[in-house]
Amino acid sequence: MYQKEIKTALKKILTEARAEAKKLGRKVEVPIIKIVDMLLSYGNQNRASDVHIEPKEEESLVRFRIQGLLHDVTTLPKDIHEEVVTRIKVLAGLRTDEHHAAQDGKLTFRTGMELPKERQEKMDVRVSIIPTTHGEKVVMRLLSARVRQYSLKDMGFSEGDLKKIKKAYSKPYGMIIASGPTGSGKTTTMYAVLKLLNKRDVNITTIEDPVEYDMGGVNQIQINPKTGLTFANGLRSIVRQDPDIILVGEIRDSETASIAVNAAMTGHLVLSTTHANDAATTLVRLLDMGVEPFLISSSVNVVVAQRLLRVLCTQCRKQKEVSTAELRKNFPGEYIQKYLGKGAKVKVWIAQGCSVCQNTGYVDRIGIHEVLLVDDDIRMAVIERKSADSIRNLAIAQGMVTMLEDGFIKVAKGVTTIEELMRVVKE
């Protein structure tokens, strides 16, 4: 397990430091640089999205978020916590003399420094530091280059949904909106679409908070409220920059929503994200922000709602019989019959655990989606201010596959488990 490896590596670093100090007859100097580098390297190796360093009363707890879940990794001696935080502040260009205010920054880290440069991986790291009662808590978001290479297909979109998205981004104007909670892969989806659109003959400009990945050929702007550069103000300026395609990191308020919709109606393709539970609710949320129904119906091409769930380890997964009656408690009978069969008992895959998956039973994450293509019927429903339920039912009647159904299809194919699907859709 990686926890054991990290504890062993940390113990070795501390033991060597003590031995060196004893040999030279001086005070122990803990190699803080080595410790920070080790945490980042192991985090990257184990595909952690975030590294947490949490000060406690007697020690500091290190945790990795892997496949959406936090795992305790190791502890650090309390007396080196402040030095570790200072090292991270230096790397991220933050104030080292400020201990009572929140700070945000960014650093670049190269993994595999012992390897030739062409085999090293450059990783951007977003840093957030907040003061707590026991010291400063650090969260480092690891923005691996691997994520930049994801295509829409890699992210689990079905062929039918891919066709809908392609139809939407093939238009020279309109809006493509990705919705879901924090950490559901919305930005990754929008970056994957941008990658498809990133050609020499178009002007692409983004405004983000923060800029998560550098993308060649794209003009990227990071908002800065201290200087008045908000999403709304930045978007106003971008529209005057002769853009073909605009990415707005998030629609948070009515002002940004209104400007984005108007940009989409005046010959620009606008990509953005928002927090909404499903595709239909996204359209209703725009209405709630005060955007006029006719503007929404005329500007939005497609809405993609999504979640991320863990992928089963194929080395140790196994099949198990479950009763249809038990499944019906959480899933429509039509899903069960269509994708698993009509018997009183059906087979599904379950997680086990082995050395390949670090005994978790899972090895990666994949998306479950619902893609709502805005056609004439959906436009009319928006204009008439129909409820989210009405819009959802209309979209399903027209063939939209819901996130729950998409997840159930992945369960039937052995991509994930019933338990994992229920965990994600209930969030």
In a domain, 334, yes or no: no
pLDDT at 234 over 90: yes
Residues 116 and 167 in one domain: no
Residues 13 and 64 in one domain: yes
pLDDT at 344 over 70: yes
Final residue before a domain boundary, out of 125, 145, 165: 145
What CATH number is attached to the domain comprising 132? 3.30.450.90
In a domain, 377, yes or no: yes
In a domain, 227, yes or no: yes
In a domain, 213, yes or no: yes
pLDDT at 113 over 60: no
Residues 119 and 163 in one domain: no
In a domain, 337, yes or no: no
What CATH number is attached to the domain comprising 256? 3.40.50.300
Final residue before a domain boundary, out of 145, 163, 185: 145
pLDDT at 217 over 60: yes
Residues 265 and 119 in one domain: no
Q: What is the pLDDT of residue 17?
A: 77
In a domain, 349, yes or no: no
Q: What is the pLDDT of residue 213?
A: 83
Q: How would you write the chain as a 3-class SS string?
A: CHHHHHHHHHHHHHHHHHHHHHHHCCCCCCCHHHHHHHHHHHHHHCCEEEEEEEECCCEEEEEEEECCEEEEEEEEEHHHHHHHHHHHHHHHCCCCCCCCCCEEEEEEEEECCCCCHHHCEEEEEEEEEEEECCEEEEEEEEECHHHHCCCCCCCCCCHHHHHHHHHHHCCCCEEEEEECCCCCCHHHHHHHHHHHHCCCCCCEEEEECCCCCCCCCCEEEECEHHHCECHHHHHHHHHCCCCCEEEECCCCCHHHHHHHHHHHHCCCEEEEEECCCCHHHHHHHHHHCCCCHHHHHHHEEEEEEEEEEEEECCCCCEEEEEEHHHHCCCCCHHHHHHHCCCCCEEEEEECCCCCCCCCCCEEEEEEEEEEEECCHHHHHHHHCCCCHHHHHHHHHHCCCCCHHHHHHHHHHCCCCCHHHHHHHHCC
In a domain, 231, yes or no: yes
- How confident is the model over 116-127, as pLDDT tens digits? 666 677 889 999
- How confident is the model over 10-63, as pLDDT tens digits? 888 888 877 877 777 676 678 899 999 999 999 998 989 999 999 999 999 999
Residues 92 and 156 in one domain: no
Residues 156 and 193 in one domain: yes
Mean pLDDT in residue range 129-144: 95
Q: What is the pLDDT of residue 9?
A: 85
In a domain, 323, yes or no: no
Domain count of the fold of the chain: 2
Q: What is the pLDDT of residue 123?
A: 87
Residues 277 and 372 in one domain: yes
pLDDT at 114 over 80: no
Mean pLDDT in residue range 72-78: 95
Q: Which domain holds residue 134?
A: 2-145
